[in-house]
Amino acid sequence: MARGTGATITSIDSEDLRRILVQGRRALEDNVEAVNALNVFPVPDGDTGTNMLLTLRALEDGPANAGGQMPPGSVTAMARGALLGARGNSGVIFAQFFQGLARGLEGKERFTAHDLALALAEGSAAAYKAVGNPVEGTMLTVIREMAEAAQQEADRGVDFIETWDAVCQAARASVARTPTLLPVLREAGVVDAGGLGLCVIMEGALSGLRDEELGAIELPAPELDGDASAAQLVSEAFIDATEEDLYGYCTQFLIQGEGLDPDAVRERLESLATSTVVIGGDAMVRIHVHAEDPGPVLSFGVSLGTVSQVSIENMDEQHQEFVAARRGKQELKPVGVLAIASGDGLSDVFIGSGAARVLSGGDTMNPSTQEILDAVEEVGAERVILLPNNPNIIAAAQQAKPLSSREITVIPTESIPQGIAAMLSFNSTQEYEENVREMEQAMGAVVSGAVCNASRDAELGGVRVAEGQVMGLLERKMVVSGDDRIGALCDLVSEIGPDGGSLITLYWGADTGEEEAHGAAEELQNRFNGVEVEVVFGGQPHYNYILSVE
């Protein structure tokens, strides 16, 4: 490496570039699991780091695979290797980025900081072109901001290492900001995996450039809410200023020419468009504006020099997404389900099956209409489907209907098994009316039973039970009694008469042991040929077992 006696160098050659990229690849190897773990966009399949690594290896092998005519440091051959060996979306974007970079460096024996800046700008343009629908807050943003930083640094000085260092710092900052730009990252509380991978590669390469051993790289942490970044403030302010009536096209391009004056360009553009951002120097200016008509803006650009990297995007879509994301917190969902049940386990079953809220209530404590109204509000949906799961609660639920600001539909479920069957046929991607219809249908497809202790002597329909004895209820009607819980349970199921392929779900109550429940399930499986029994913690009071047969 053409290294001066001091700590500065003014240029590197392609051999150096390959060497430092190997160091970058090694840095990525050290951090590949961390990068994989962050992968949530565009598909959270946890392989971004691996894909980038495989792409980098293909890049290194590019010259060797080019048929022996290429020198080992041929940038063009490396770019081709990366392109042909690109794995995954992150790999494809990286390969395109490098392809652009290589175009920028083509024909040069040595690369200066200024060459690097131009090449990164080319790489950035190529990367954006690589994806059909560029999304900000991804590796693309990191690449673009790296290029911008290189440009600024190269305008200031000529030291190659310092420029690369500035690029790395920009990459780190950009990676940290990605969650402020991409909602899915913000929700997951992570930075973009591809951007992080690139940042790691650049930092590894920097240590190579400095002839240092590869050390541990401190990974940038996400900037999340409460730590609002400048980028976020800008976009929030922008929304406020423009409210709902934003329209037009986000127009971006690069002008290359001679004697360009960014300030004069900005001034002129401000008369044609809004949100004008103009950066660059006298040889190259990057433009970002929002224009009702991008035509005049582009014509103006063409009058100044060569226009490239043109990107014109319809902003209406973007803007609406922004506004929706910002207002997401107070926005009502279109539909939500409120179930009424008592018992921690049953509550979890309903929530796990997609209920928005479970209101505690059942045989021993029927919730009031007011309590139901409050719970309906807490669902946070415009239309609420209500599962009373008890005949004594249906009336109170119906009463809530005209009193609520929400539209309520009561599915008249009389038991927990009916409620759960209805809940499982709820599908949030489906139309409201379709859901209601299918839930009503589903509640009728199960048989409900329960086993509990009698609180007093009774005789019902020829079945006698003494206080403290066990009784078995079929759809709330006593059909069997006895002294032994499991015996009564088996007699009850026998009354129901399940056929071979039936599924019995047994919800054991707060006063029943898990071991006993599993014993009961085994007993049922032995007694009734071919039935399947699933044991679930219900935690309900009063009933030792609630069961469904379907």
Partner 1 sequence: MAVKVITDSTSDLPPALVEELGINVVPANVHFGEEVYRDGVEITGDEFYRRLVASSRLPTTSQPTPGDFLSAYNEVGQTTDEIISVHVSAKLSGTLNSAAQAREEYGGDCRIEIIDSLQGSMGLGMLVIAAAEAANRGGSLDEVAAETRAAVPNVGFMGLLDTLEYLVKGGRIGKAQAFVGSLLRIKPLLAIRDGEAHPLERARTRAKGVDRMCQLVQDMMPLEDLAVVYTTTPDEARSLAQRLQAFLPQGQVRLGQVGPAVGTYLGPGVLGVAHRKQV
Which residue ranges make up the site for partner 1 (CB under 8 A)? 39, 43-47, 50-51, 54, 58, 83-89, 92, 95-96, 130-132, 345, 348-349, 351-354, 420, 424-425, 427-429, 501, 503, 505, 532, 534, 536, 550
For 523-537, give one letter per residue: b (16+ CB within 10 A) or e. Answer: bbeeebeebebebbb
- Closest approach, Cβ 165 to partner 1, in A, equals 32
- Closest approach, Cβ 530 to partner 1, in A, equals 11
- Closest approach, Cβ 132 to partner 1, in A, equals 8
* Residue 253 or 426 having the CB closest to partner 1: 426
For 55-64, give one letter per residue: b (16+ CB within 10 A) or e. Answer: bbbbbbbbbe
* Residue 89 or 544 having the CB closest to partner 1: 89
- Closest approach, Cβ 22 to partner 1, in A, equals 20
- Closest approach, Cβ 87 to partner 1, in A, equals 5
Side by side, the strands of the sheet bearing 477-482 are 477-482, 470-474, 447-453, 543-549, 503-508, 532-537
Name the residue with tokens 């200023």: 241
Cα torsion 298, 303, 309, 315 to 10°: value is: -20
* Residue 287 or 446 having the CB closest to partner 1: 446
Hey, which residues does 284 pair with through a beta bridge? 256
Name the residue with tokens 């609002």: 228
* Residue 39 or 138 having the CB closest to partner 1: 39
* Residue 65 or 360 having the CB closest to partner 1: 65
For 331-368, give one letter per residue: b (16+ CB within 10 A) or e. Answer: eeeebbbbbbbbbebbbbbbeebebbbbbebbbeebbe
* DSSP assigned state of 260: -
- Closest approach, Cβ 440 to partner 1, in A, equals 15
* Residue 315 or 446 having the CB closest to partner 1: 446
- Closest approach, Cβ 464 to partner 1, in A, equals 35
- Closest approach, Cβ 43 to partner 1, in A, equals 5
Half-sphere CA count of 529, side-chain side, radius 13 A: 0
Q: How many CB atoms lie within 10 A of CB 274?
A: 15
- Closest approach, Cβ 88 to partner 1, in A, equals 6
CA dist 261 and 265 (Å) reads 6
* Residue 163 or 512 having the CB closest to partner 1: 512
Q: Give the closest residue to 153 by CA, choosing from 164, 140, 139, 137.
A: 164
Q: Give the closest residue to 290 by CA, choosing from 331, 344, 235.
A: 235
CA dist 438 and 520 (Å) reads 32
Side by side, the strands of the sheet bearing 407-410 are 357-359, 333-340, 381-387, 407-410
Half-sphere CA count of 457, side-chain side, radius 13 A: 1
* Residue 345 or 380 having the CB closest to partner 1: 345
Instruction: Yes or no: say if 463 and 435 are a contact pair by the CB < 8 Å rule.
Output: no
* Residue 371 or 550 having the CB closest to partner 1: 550
* Residue 344 or 516 having the CB closest to partner 1: 344
* Residue 88 or 362 having the CB closest to partner 1: 88
Structure tokens at 104: 């920028």
- Closest approach, Cβ 357 to partner 1, in A, equals 15
**What count of residues does the chain have?**
550
* DSSP assigned state of 40: -
- Closest approach, Cβ 83 to partner 1, in A, equals 6
- Closest approach, Cβ 428 to partner 1, in A, equals 5
Instruction: Yes or no: say if 155 and 108 are a contact pair by the CB < 8 Å rule.
Output: no
* Residue 368 or 441 having the CB closest to partner 1: 441
